[in-house]
Amino acid sequence: MLDHNDCLGEAVTARLLDFFGDRTSWQRRLWSVGTVMRLKETAEAIELLDPVPAAQHSLEECKASARDLAKVDPGIAAAPERGRIAGLLSAPLTAHGSAHEQLQELVKLSDDGYLTRWSVALRSEQTGLGAESIARLIASHLLDSGSSPGHLYRWWERHTRYNEDETHTLADLLELAEASIVSRDDDFDVVILFNESPALDSRPPGWLDAEGVSAWFDSHRFRPPPQYDGGLRLSFRARDAGAAAQRALDLLDIYAARLAVANRASAWSPMDQAWVGGTTRPIRMPSSRRVDVPVLAREQQLFADERDEQVDSGLQLVSLLDAGTPAAAAAGAWAGLESMLKAPGDGGAHHVAPRLSRIVAGSFCRSELTDLTWRRIRGVRDEISAELKALRTNFERTERMACLVQAGQSGVTDPRDVAGAERMRKILEDPSRSLETVRAGADDALRRLYRQRNLVLHSGRTEAVALRSTLRTAAPLVGAGMDRIAHAWFVDGDRPLRLAARAELQLERLATPDAIPVTRLLAR
């Protein structure tokens, strides 16, 4: 159990469970990559982009993104060494030069013992950061390091909520996580079953016929599904069983692409679950990065006759981010965004990320207040919940909930919702400054997506070090932005650039007497 006297630990844990959960709403998901990953991304970018004059602005953005976090992240190193890293990132760096080699060595040293240094900083109460920032840094480091979200969620929940025999502080848990999660990989035996045996001249390495599958299931004490026709046995070294299942999915994607161009795609029918030795139940393989655009179903536009080339083509390209291979996801998603948000006279694609980040920031408050409203209605039976439910529209409900949050009467009880209500209270106190922070966080993630797209298309780097982390963090933002773009077009008839202009104007007006409620920033 988590020590109930550790208030910071409780606040951080609430956010970690949001970040690792598979049903977390987009505005509560993790949009940032960790400090170590930013440093790795920068070291790689120096090697690839330094010789390219046209890429210097992108390279400087990458360096600044890493430098800003390295200055304040106690997990990286002691203050003097953090200053050294910041100094290197503030100066010109030549690929394979002395300073570049120093940076690469410092990145390796920063990665080793990251959570242990955080534990020391927490015990000394010298972090200088709040619960939200701490949770983001820790969660992003764990995910960037190769652990699966499901494993992290179960591990954190078990040690903070269910194991009553032991009491831990947050500092204790980080030491334990360094030893049991980050510092070791294990060997995993994975089996993927097939609905039909591939009708091919040859079978992939590790193929098991039905008898071989049955023997493997018996030896690992699994109960097989009622129907299958063979399976593929794979071995991986990974952080956890979920990460091994993801590795299996990645390999299946490679095989599927080869079969598609060989005109043999119909011969490939793997199930969407992985059986991993050492576990007790099959793991459902995540086939989606959750680029959620719910407005299409909510407004009954999935099969609408009316088509718009710009929006529909953009949706088709962005859909690659949801389930495409990493390189295709980065290239396709950015092409879709650029097709909708690049304006005449821009001269380049550098305006796309700021425009989408403003749309995201403009929809943040309404999304969070909607979640809080319905969690209160479903979780608390009182007059206020009845009043909220009786209101005619979600606009009215969110504005009423905003008043309740400001008055400290949100009524939610789940720690994750309490944390969400507290974040909303701070935003409502100073919406201009707070939503600029939201916008900046989204902008950083989307600019990283643009850089990764450039590495894929212009440098042929289809397995860049930060590519997978970038897709994980950009997916909720792209989904949220596309949801608002689709709503603006299918419901109001507004083009994406008109919505982006409205978002920019209303965010700027938040600091003036002409500001409108934060729940209506994107309303027509």
Going by C-alpha positions, the residue among 115, 123, 110, 108 that lies closest to residue 152 is 115
| pLDDT by 10s per residue, the chain, length 524 | 898 889 999 999 999 999 999 999 999 999 999 999 999 999 999 998 877 776 888 899 999 999 999 999 999 999 999 999 999 999 999 999 999 999 999 999 999 999 999 999 999 988 889 999 999 999 999 999 999 999 999 999 999 988 777 889 999 999 999 998 887 899 999 999 998 887 777 888 999 999 999 999 999 999 989 889 899 999 999 999 999 999 999 999 888 888 888 887 677 789 989 999 999 999 987 767 888 888 877 777 776 666 667 888 888 999 999 887 899 999 999 999 999 999 999 988 889 999 999 999 999 999 999 999 999 999 999 999 999 999 999 999 999 999 999 999 999 999 999 999 999 999 999 999 999 999 999 999 999 999 999 999 988 999 999 999 999 999 999 999 999 999 999 888 999 999 999 999 999 999 999 999 999 999 98
| pLDDT tens, position by position, 425-458 | 999 999 999 999 999 999 999 999 999 999 999 8
Angle at which helix 309-323 crosses helix 467-490, to 10 degrees, equals 150
Q: Per the structure block, which two tokens stand in for 425?
A: 């209270």
What is the C-alpha to C-alpha distance for residues 435 and 357, in angstroms, rounded to an integer?
Answer: 10
What is the C-alpha to C-alpha distance for residues 262 and 268, in angstroms, rounded to an integer?
Answer: 12
Mean pLDDT value across the chain? 92
What is the C-alpha to C-alpha distance for residues 260 and 257, in angstroms, rounded to an integer?
Answer: 5
Contact criterion met (CB below 8 Å) for 147 and 243: yes
User: CA dist 33 to 6, 238, 336, 428, 436, Å?
Assistant: 26, 20, 23, 27, 19
Contact criterion met (CB below 8 Å) for 27 and 134: no
* CA–centroid distance for 360 within its chain: 14
Number of other residues whose CB lies within 10 A of the CB of residue 398: 24
User: Which pLDDT does position 209 carry in this prediction?
Assistant: 92
User: Which pLDDT does position 262 carry in this prediction?
Assistant: 83
Contact criterion met (CB below 8 Å) for 114 and 75: yes
pTM: 0.93
What is the C-alpha to C-alpha distance for residues 340 and 492, in angstroms, rounded to an integer?
Answer: 16
What is the C-alpha to C-alpha distance for residues 115 and 132, in angstroms, rounded to an integer?
Answer: 16
Number of other residues whose CB lies within 10 A of the CB of residue 42: 29
User: Which pLDDT does position 287 carry in this prediction?
Assistant: 66
In this structure, what are the phi and psi dihedrals at residue 188, rounded to the nearest 5 degrees?
A: -125, 140
Going by C-alpha positions, the residue among 245, 119, 241 that lies closest to residue 177 is 119
| pLDDT tens, position by position, 205-239 | 999 999 999 999 999 999 989 889 899 999 999 99
In this structure, what are the phi and psi dihedrals at residue 49, rounded to the nearest 5 degrees?
A: -105, -20
DSSP string, 223-275: PPPS----EEEEEEEESSHHHHHHHHHHHHHHHHHHHHHTT-GGG--EEEEEE
User: Which pLDDT does position 307 carry in this prediction?
Assistant: 67
Label the pairing between strands 186-194 and 207-208. unpaired
